[in-house]
Structure 1
Amino acid sequence: MTYDPASSNPLAGNPLQNRTDMRRALIDLFYPLLPYFSKGNARVRIDAAGAHFDRAAADLEGFARPLWGLAPYGAGGGDFAHWGRYAEGIANGVDPGHPEYWGTVNGRDQRMVELAALGFALALVPEKIWEPLDSKARGNLIAYLKHARTFDYADNNWKFFRVLVDIALDRLGAEFDRSLTEDYLRELDGFYIADGWYRDGNVRRVDHYIPFAMHFYGLIYSKLVDDDRAKRYRERAMLFAKDFRHWFAPDGATIPFGRSLTYRFACAGFWSALAFADVEALPWGEIKGLCLRHLRWWTGKPIAHRDGTLPIGYGYPNLLMSENYNSAGSPYWAFKAFLPLALPETHPFWTAEEKPLVTEPAIVPLKHPGMVMMHGKADVVALSSGQENLQMRFGSEKYAKFAYSARYGFSVESDERAFAGGAFDSMLAFSDDGVHYRVRETNEEAKLAGDTLYAKWSPWPDVTVETWLIPAAPWHIRLHKIITPRPLQTAEGGFAIARRDFEADTLSSQKNAAYAVGEADFSGIVDLDSTVPRDGLTQKAPPNTNLIVAKTLVPQLRGTIPTGETILVSAVLAEHDPATVSGAWTKPPAKPDLDALRALIAEKGVTVSAIDVPGRPA
């Protein structure tokens, strides 16, 4: 090969074991952006990809988001040669008479999001980007920030954006209505569930926005403001850490789940924020390990263009999985991972010996997101009751699959008319015409009883599905009770694994079972005596549908169900070991008893917090 995609990754070759390594990582990630700064330094435009907001806001996004890492770097004494560029860019960006003016906020606006990074930097390193400004620029900046905060922010983590701007205004000595700050802080408290968990607004989902937004901003607040609320943010973060550590695999990978995954290593932002706020929620060696291992996981992935900039995507460049609010600058929210650079080298985060991941107990039920975490030697799998996102593209794939894996990620579908060719990894798809299909989009009920999950859902209004998910490590079992007024075709998938060139993988499709053996992984699904026969199929999934690798294989079971009641039961297995085909694959778990599962949910089932939104019907 003349080109190794991973070699363009600015993190490639960085051991990421200490403060020096992390400093180097930040600078190596930032410097490829320099050619894309505008003449007046107020805008950064990497490419022509668009988002739903205007181009000026997208350019501000590219300018502001690196500040989440640069500000801590500057606060920690890092040598950054381009603070003058940022000071000039701010002066020009808030000057209505300058060609690179960022534009006036006139309602709920993406600029509100990016001003939070600016507010954070102004509060943390005013000597870098405030003190160099002349009186005109200072006046324009204060006026710009005060004007933006007069509008209503989205009823979710956005409310923290105005809080961060207000902290900056307070530190800069500006006069403003502080009652608005208190109003938003009180409303943010209304999103708190219990046990360290929030919801991101009045929605039926609990995703990475809880750690890398709600807790992240709360911990920054707790560092910059000393009040009773700051203490509560710390206490909640300590509770949350005990659950969130189970979203990580031994190699540092995290469970890709939900929207905005193009922010990549922002998923380490919670651990970074604990360090920044001096909150020892876990032993410092564990926090350090969770943070740095996650950064190291990205070092070998082809996550950058040849010039070193970060494109939209997750494990590789991929616009298909993006949100309509992802612009070319969006991935730089990943710089949230660099908060520890504000800490001196004597801080216990840096001096502690890195500790390995705690993977005991191996099975961990989490009531609030509706998940049962299964720790393995090289992976962690989240069995999921299913959540809801009806607004985002591929909301079903991002929130409503049966299982999510740190190693195998998940796939989005690329053609709503391709039932025959869909990936359907960790999903059950139905079709009444063999062309179009339906999958789970939301739940009528979702419950957890011990380590068993239950959900009731409807792919069509006249079709009802009840699903039970049971861990049987290293397997998991799925049981579906389906009632339909007409025959339906079905497809149920296991996990997607990497597919090699030259048809080098081993594929097996037979009655009631299918598996694939790749270069490094095994994935299989087997029927456990369903009431109808199903055929195995190893699907060569459409390219660029999986988040982590561009080409995948997905073992599936396919069959037609009749009018009336059908019971489908399967066991699913995927492991980072091709030899699994002659090991665990030969010993599938037993079929569970449906009556016993019903009784368990009836007696001990508790409603999953993620779908139990106050004031909203199920």
Structure 2
Amino acid sequence: MDNVSPDNKTMPPPTPSPTNTKALLLGYTDTHPFSHVPLSDRSSVQTLLRTLLDPLTPFFSPLRSRIRVPGATAVRFDQTASEIEGLLRPLWGLSCLLAGEPGAYDNTQSWIDGIAAGVDPSSPEFWGYPRDNDQRMVEMCPLGFALAVAPEIWEGLKERPGAVGNLERWLGNSINEKNMPNTNWLWFRVFANLGLKKNGGRFSQERLDKDIEHLDTFYRGDGWSNDGPEGVWQMDYYSSSFAIHFLQLLYARIAGEDGERERGRKEEFRRRARECARDLVHYYDAEGRAIPFGRSVGYRFAMVSFWGALAYADVELPEPLTWGVVKGIVLRHLRWWQTQRDIWSPAGTLTVGYSYPNMYMAENYNSPGSPYWACLAFICLAVPETHPFWTSPEEPYPLSSLPPVKPLPQPGHIMSYLGGHCMLLSSGQACSYPMKGTHAKYGAFAYSSAYAYSVPPGLFTLEQYALASQLGLSDDGGEYWKTRRVSEYAAIEYRDDKPVLVSVWKPFPDVEIKTYLIPPTEATPNYHLRVHHITSGRDLMTADGSFAISNERTQPPDGRYLDPYSTTNHEGTFPKLIGNYDNDTPEAWASGSDGAYAVSKGAVGIRALEEKDAGRRGMIVNADPNSNLVESRTCIPTLQGKLGKGQSVWYVSAVYAKPSGEGVGREEYLSGWDKVPEVPGWLKEEVGAR
């Protein structure tokens, strides 16, 4: 019965759903109910979650065991597993809602019916037992958690003859006998066993213990765990909100007190979270935005789930954090997503993408149901309403209590709050397996809460590569470009007692690049420095891109491409943006020292500082649409250059960013552009010594 589809089966009549079965239809001027919920307290967040769950109702299969979320895109696993995702990923939110308030959702019975049918081998909608490395194992995690925290789900299954036995065989026996990826996936097996254990079902304590012991080998220090064994350096949101820290904290709350070892394990997970919270707070800004970095950011508001999990696990907060601050991080983040009104399908379901539907940035495991991993954010609903997370007044982001620049050794980042946005400089991380756009998701030099990263929608010319915050190199005249993906060396070093990120990488076997990333200073807060020492064994073209920015004019507000910069309406580009691929005109170019900038939602730009860098020129890349995660139309100020075989050059660039925001007038967007940072003395010495 493996991978059975119900399409050609004779089905019993479906049980009528107790909720509205009519699909939500969003028209030209409609906005999703999600955007209209004023968020302030626990009750309002409950309402917000219901706006996420309700639109799924029309898409249940006849026996409720699957949800076919609108969107016919395929993924690397089978269609049945995709539709199991559609059912079980929303269970993260539903189970948190029920854990905090039993009976709080009218349509819970559909999930109970669906689980019973899905685990029943005699059912035409049987999910099929998992094979090695099967996607079904991932979805066992929210199911195990739901069983552990929402008694009405287990009790509902007990009322169905044979359902508990079927569940034990599907959830426990099958996963314990199969191989799993050596990643955060091992936590999913822990929770499959834990859900059964909490209800007296058949489970494997031996497997549970062995998996946690192995997962502990991923721990690297400073509270951080890596998403894999030695030799893998991948510390993205999977290390915090998507999986590892999140699930450690859930485990610390719901696992039993089975002796001293178990108590010590739970306290260790809380200790790691306290320590890591001091770092993770730097990934969010005062407006509620998180810095998009790494893979699976299509899980959207799941990026904030770590903070609700702290409350759920009763973690004692480290200074300067308070529960009012943590509450503010969560609620502002959800409010920001309420402003992203293009994340929905016309039926009101989440789409694959970030701020709008976008398959270019999707991983090959992102099915139409995958985005509902975002429901992790609602762990705060399982927190009792008497907890200080809910009773404390919401507090603003604690900018005055945080260092404006902070190095984070474990993820290999330098964080900065200077310049009006939250930014990280990055070196060294790389996905351990092939992934679409991996160089953009991990290998870019800078990531910002205000200016999201871009992925290539194609692989031909700079317009398609969309090299935001990346250095591209081409040895074929500009058709194909290579960027930093894997670094041979990467570390936070110190110059004059200040942190600098240093990496060494080879885009071609005979081309070596040493890159220095220098964070902003109080004197020039809108600039960070990006320095490359390139030694080339072949002729090359180079393109060094700044952040990407919206390429739609608002003065007048007609959405056309940006015009040349105007001091009257404080919008546009310098030099002129050429709207096609032919840049062979003087208007399209500026000197390297004059640089290039674009002004729309704030301003971004890049300019050359070092005398030996005089050969580069500034221009505006008209990036192909849908390359950026947040803005569907963008342009990228870029410095282009050439170097010959056997040549060694220094590129010293100042990268500018001043986002729009409350209290920032349009006339101020370029106010820091002419305040060019000085090249540090230590860097002048290194340049002169080569």
Q: 1:209 aligns with which of 224, 238, 242?
A: 238
Q: Cα distance, 1:504 vs. partner?
A: 4.2
Q: Are residues 1:103 and 2:128 paired?
A: yes
Q: 2:204 aligns with which of 177, 196, 199?
A: 177
Native 8 Å contact 1:11 1:298 kept in 2: no
CA 31–129 in structure 1, closer or farther in 2 if over 3 Å, else same: farther
Distance 1:40 1:461 in 2: 57
Find the counterpart in structure 2 of residue 609 from structure 1.
none
Which amino acid is the alignment partner of residue 263 of structure 1?
Y
Give CA-to-partner distance per residue, 1:192-232, whole Å, 9 cap, x none. 01111010112222111011210100000000123211110
Q: 1:334 aligns with which of 354, 374, 382?
A: 374
Query: What number of residue pairs does the alignment pair up?
Result: 598
Find the counterpart in structure 1 of residue 115 from structure 2.
90
Find the counterpart in structure 2 of residue 615 from structure 1.
none
Which amino acid is the alignment partner of residue 19 of structure 1?
R
Q: 1:310 aligns with which of 350, 354, 359?
A: 350
Find the counterpart in structure 2 of residue 607 from structure 1.
none
Distance 2:313 2:465 in 1: 45
Q: Are residues 1:398 and 2:441 paired?
A: yes
* Higher RCO structure (Cα 8 Å, ≥6 apart): 1
Distance 1:3 1:87 in 2: 29
Which amino acid is the alignment partner of residue 74 of structure 2?
G
Find the counterpart in structure 2 of residue 588 from structure 1.
676
CA RMSD of aligned residues (A): 1.9
Distance 2:516 2:352 in 1: 35
CA 446–185 in structure 1, closer or farther in 2 if over 3 Å, else same: same
Give CA-to-partner distance per residue, 1:10-54, whole Å, 9 cap, x none. 421222221111001100011111111111000001121111000
Native 8 Å contact 2:454 2:468 kept in 1: yes
Q: Are residues 1:69 and 2:96 paired?
A: no
Q: 2:604 aligns with which of 523, 543, 555?
A: 523
Residues 461-480 of structure 1 mapped to structure 2, 5 A cutoff: 461-472=509-520, 473-480=525-532
| TM-score, length-scaled by structure 2 | 0.84
Distance 1:287 1:280 in 2: 12
Q: Cα distance, 1:592 vs. partner?
A: 3.2
CA 385–593 in structure 1, closer or farther in 2 if over 3 Å, else same: farther
Q: Secondary structure at the match of 1:331?
A: helix
Q: 1:484 aligns with which of 536, 556, 559?
A: 536
Q: Secondary structure at the match of 1:451?
A: strand
Q: 1:556 aligns with which of 611, 635, 638?
A: 638
Distance 2:630 2:463 in 1: 23
Native 8 Å contact 2:406 2:415 kept in 1: yes
Of the structure 1 ranges 527-536 and 29-38, higher mean CA displacement relative to structure 2 is found in 527-536
Q: 1:57 aligns with which of 81, 92, 96?
A: 81
Which amino acid is the alignment partner of residue 105 of structure 1?
P
Residues 107-506 of structure 1 mapped to structure 2, 5 A cutoff: 107-132=132-157, 133-145=159-171, 146-202=173-229, 203-212=232-241, 213-225=243-255, 226=257, 227-281=263-317, 282-301=321-340, 302-359=342-399, 360-376=402-418, 378-389=420-431, 390-419=433-462, 422-434=465-477, 435-449=479-493, 450-472=498-520, 473-500=525-552, 501-505=559-563, 506=572
Distance 1:59 1:169 in 2: 23
CA 387–580 in structure 1, closer or farther in 2 if over 3 Å, else same: farther
Q: Cα distance, 1:497 vs. partner?
A: 0.9
Query: Which is higher, the Rg of structure 1 or of structure 2?
Result: 2
Q: Secondary structure at the match of 2:303?
A: helix
Distance 2:411 2:643 in 1: 31
Distance 1:475 1:88 in 2: 57
Q: Cα distance, 1:593 vs. partner?
A: 4.2
Give CA-to-partner distance per residue, 1:451-509, whole Å, 9 cap, x none. 21100000001100000011132210011000001221000100111111223451102
Native 8 Å contact 1:489 1:559 kept in 2: yes
Distance 1:325 1:371 in 2: 27
Distance 2:75 2:46 in 1: 31
Distance 2:621 2:289 in 1: 25
Q: Secondary structure at the match of 1:407?
A: coil
Unaligned 5+ residue runs, structure 2? 1-24, 258-262, 553-558, 564-571, 576-589, 661-665
CA 401–582 in structure 1, closer or farther in 2 if over 3 Å, else same: closer
CA 49–180 in structure 1, closer or farther in 2 if over 3 Å, else same: same
What percent of counterpart residues are identical?
39
Q: Cα distance, 1:129 vs. partner?
A: 4.1
Q: Cα distance, 1:276 vs. partner?
A: 1.2
Q: Secondary structure at the match of 1:518?
A: strand
Find the counterpart in structure 2 of residue 604 from structure 1.
none
Native 8 Å contact 2:465 2:481 kept in 1: no
Native 8 Å contact 2:462 2:621 kept in 1: no
Native 8 Å contact 2:73 2:367 kept in 1: yes
Q: Secondary structure at the match of 1:503?
A: coil
Which amino acid is the alignment partner of residue 574 of structure 2?
S
Q: Are residues 1:508 and 2:574 paired?
A: yes
Native 8 Å contact 1:530 1:568 kept in 2: no
Native 8 Å contact 2:463 2:621 kept in 1: no
Native 8 Å contact 1:303 1:313 kept in 2: yes
Give CA-to-partner distance per residue, 1:488-540, whole Å, 9 cap, x none. 10001001111112234511021114444433311111111252411111111
Of the structure 1 ranges 414-423 and 316-325, higher mean CA displacement relative to structure 2 is found in 414-423
Distance 2:476 2:488 in 1: 25
Distance 1:421 1:171 in 2: 51
Distance 1:594 1:372 in 2: 19
Distance 1:320 1:178 in 2: 42
Which amino acid is the alignment partner of residue 508 of structure 1?
F
Native 8 Å contact 1:522 1:580 kept in 2: no
Find the counterpart in structure 2 of residue 24 from structure 1.
47
Q: Cα distance, 1:303 vs. partner?
A: 1.1
Native 8 Å contact 2:439 2:485 kept in 1: yes
Which amino acid is the alignment partner of residue 413 of structure 1?
P
Native 8 Å contact 2:545 2:638 kept in 1: yes
Q: Secondary structure at the match of 1:346?
A: coil
Native 8 Å contact 1:386 1:401 kept in 2: no
Q: Secondary structure at the match of 1:105?
A: coil
Q: Cα distance, 1:377 vs. partner?
A: 6.0
Of the structure 1 ranges 105-114 and 505-514, higher mean CA displacement relative to structure 2 is found in 505-514
Q: Are residues 1:573 and 2:616 paired?
A: no
CA 342–562 in structure 1, closer or farther in 2 if over 3 Å, else same: same
Native 8 Å contact 2:463 2:622 kept in 1: no
CA 591–120 in structure 1, closer or farther in 2 if over 3 Å, else same: same
Q: Secondary structure at the match of 1:459?
A: strand
Distance 1:598 1:57 in 2: 55
Distance 2:671 2:132 in 1: 60
Unaligned 5+ residue runs, structure 1? 600-618
Native 8 Å contact 2:549 2:600 kept in 1: no
Of the structure 1 ranges 75-84 and 301-310, higher mean CA displacement relative to structure 2 is found in 75-84
Which amino acid is the alignment partner of residue 678 of structure 2?
A
Distance 2:204 2:396 in 1: 47
Of the structure 1 ranges 322-331 and 170-179, higher mean CA displacement relative to structure 2 is found in 170-179
Q: Cα distance, 1:382 vs. partner?
A: 0.5
Native 8 Å contact 2:176 2:204 kept in 1: no
Of the structure 1 ranges 344-353 and 517-526, higher mean CA displacement relative to structure 2 is found in 517-526
